[in-house]
Amino acid sequence: MAEVSEVLDLSPAAGEGGTGPLVEVRGITKIFPGVVANDGIDLAVYGGEVHCLLGENGAGKSTLMNILSGMYRPDAGTILVDGAEVQIDSPRVALDLGIGTVYQHPTLIPVFTVLENLVLGQGRGLSMDTKRALAGLKQVAADLGVEIDPRALAGRLALGQQQQVEIVKALWGGSRVLILDEPTSMLTPQGITELEKVLLQLKERGLAIIFITHKLHEALDVGDRVTVLRRGRVVGTLGPEVVRSTSRDELQARIVTMMFGEEAASLAGVAEVRGEVTGHRTARQVSSEVMLELIGVSVEPQRSEIGIRDVSLAVRRGEIVGVAGVDGNGQRELAEAVAGQRSVHTGDVLLAGQSIRHTSVSGRQRMGLRYVTDDRVGEGTVSSLSVATNLILKRIGDGPFWKRGRVCDDAISECATDLVDSFDIRTPTIETSCGTLSGGNLQKVLLARELSFDPRVVVYNKPTHGLDVKTTYAVRDRIRQLAEERQVSALLISTDLEELLDLCDRIAVLFGGRLMGVVENEVGAELEVGRLMVGGDSR
């Protein structure tokens, strides 16, 4: 197969500059209960290169990285650093070997200052060597061209800055290998550009960088070498000479085939796969009837939140209005205020012209206002209950599922079977407990529940977050279809700008709990939204 030769043509590159790989893994296998996360993975990482690990969610990228960083121990296989075999059985060992990691979920402690976060684990004996730490921070920050206040609380920093601190932390002990796990997932377009600059700096200093992503275009943007993982196996590696000499379109085509195999053809239309921002969807006819209106809505923050202040927004019938913004800028507060899960401090919420400020959650539900939460496991479903019960979770006590206080199992299973069919939920039976479903299927359960029984306005909170490409595609299709065919209005909260550009008629931007502006989804919307996302003034 062509892929095999691509793996083999690594060797000439290894000869470049007369150095072997900094880190090499051979035959790494890791088995979790019921799933082979890594299946005999071979990988070689060289200094002065950005090595992209590309693959769908669940392809085994993060598992491999956790093995390198000492968080997991492999069930089989060997790891070599500088050609010598090593046992990485704790993060300490990885750090001592010069392998620094920026995890997908931030590992900064929000109530610690930047400095405290940096000196964590650095102490010798009792003393905290803050002087050395300060000097080191200044040095690294200058090298990377970033500016960080060492006395600021980490939790107060913007996510991009937090990530810069994480990078500094990962480089702290003189790391020569830097692993970045999905580093762009929390960043604005501008933040991503900055990150790319930092990576370039590091590369020039001879570091090996492992860049994990599921976005093809990112891999093409930053990668010198690209390895594609699929279902726990390496399906191919494109060496630097291949990446340099091949046109972008051809690379894309080859990688898509590797990533999705025989399914590639059916996914040709997916923006995520093509790796481009399609942007400005074709204008649709939207009625002028306002379905959901927020008038000067403020919500008091709960701990570690910022709340929302004076948000005014109208969603018309059949319209999809996006809410963009970096996570933690008031999205959840906004969604819950509309859904009724949180009281509105000042202002008013109107559903079809009628104030629902004092209407209960179930009252709003009955009026056709639905909320698809982003917390699928915690808030959205009850893991220990069956799929069927979860599907009617918000109708407990209502007919036809309950009659005079008694549950009617037949009505429930009939309804559940219908929904499982029409929403393509992959579950062994409707009696299977929800906790055993994958994230994608869990999301389908949520959608099936919220979108049944005549929805009029739906609030989606990060509806495709963490889903694989196929499910993402299916979910977006359903949102679009519902708006176009059944005139259901939608408030679509997402941190994925591409998703908003793909689906929305208009995009509102939340920053620091305030609505910075609403942008019509047309040419150039991306830049304008990006500018508002970091707090730029509306034009």
Nearer CB in complex with other proteins: 108/292: 108
> What is the closest distance, in whole angstroms, from the C-beta atom of residue 99 to other proteins in the complex?
11
CA distance 520 to 282: 12
Maximal C-alpha separation, the chain: 81
| Residue 18 binds other proteins, judged by CB under 8 A | no
Identify the sign of the CA torsion 431, 397, 441, 329.
negative
Nearer CB in complex with other proteins: 84/126: 126
Among 2, 15, 84, 124, which residue sits at the site for other proteins (rule: CB under 8 A)? 124
Nearer CB in complex with other proteins: 116/505: 116
CA distance 263 to 482: 26
Among 8, 35, 111, 135, which residue sits at the site for other proteins (rule: CB under 8 A)? 111
Among 13, 52, 114, 119, which residue sits at the site for other proteins (rule: CB under 8 A)? 119
Instruction: Assess contact for 213 and 469: CB atoms under 8 A.
Output: no
| Residue 378 binds other proteins, judged by CB under 8 A | no
The angle subtended at Cα 218 by Cα 214 and Cα 221, nearest 5°, is 150
Kindly indicate which of the ranges 39-47, 112-120, 219-227, 526-534 contains the residues binding other proteins, using the contact rule CB under 8 A. Answer: 112-120
| Residue 122 binds other proteins, judged by CB under 8 A | yes
Instruction: Assess contact for 518 and 312: CB atoms under 8 A.
Output: no
Backbone angles phi, psi at 379, to 5 degrees: -100, -30
Nearer CB in complex with other proteins: 155/279: 155
Site string for other proteins, 290-329 (x = CB under 8 A): ----------------------------------------
Among 38, 68, 69, 184, which residue sits at the site for other proteins (rule: CB under 8 A)? 69
Among 8, 35, 76, 109, which residue sits at the site for other proteins (rule: CB under 8 A)? 109
What's 236-268 look like in SS3?
EEECHHHHHHCCHHHHHHHHHHHHHHHHHHHHC
Nearer CB in complex with other proteins: 101/184: 101
Among 31, 36, 80, 128, which residue sits at the site for other proteins (rule: CB under 8 A)? 128
What's 214-228 look like in SS3?
CCHHHHHHHCCEEEE
Residues between 143 and 172 with contacts to other proteins, criterion CB under 8 A: 169
Instruction: Assess contact for 240 and 49: CB atoms under 8 A.
Output: yes
Q: Which residue has the tokens 């929904």?
A: 419
Backbone angles phi, psi at 319, to 5 degrees: -95, 145
What SS3 class is residue 15? Answer: helix
Tokens for 18?
Answer: 């007369």
Q: Encode burial over 430-439: b for 16+ CB neighbours within 10 A, e otherwise.
A: beebbeebeb
| Total chain residues near other proteins (CB under 8 A) | 31
Nearer CB in complex with other proteins: 41/228: 41
Nearer CB in complex with other proteins: 172/460: 172
H/E segment holding residue 158: none
Tokens for 191?
Answer: 């933040």
Nearer CB in complex with other proteins: 14/128: 128
> What is the closest distance, in whole angstroms, from the C-beta atom of residue 179 to other proteins in the complex?
11
> What is the closest distance, in whole angstroms, from the C-beta atom of residue 103 to other proteins in the complex?
7
DSSP string for 114-131: HHHHHHTTT-BTTB--HH
Among 44, 108, 338, 451, which residue sits at the site for other proteins (rule: CB under 8 A)? 108
Binding site for other proteins (CB under 8 A): 66, 69, 71-72, 90-92, 94-96, 101, 103, 107-112, 116-117, 119-128, 169
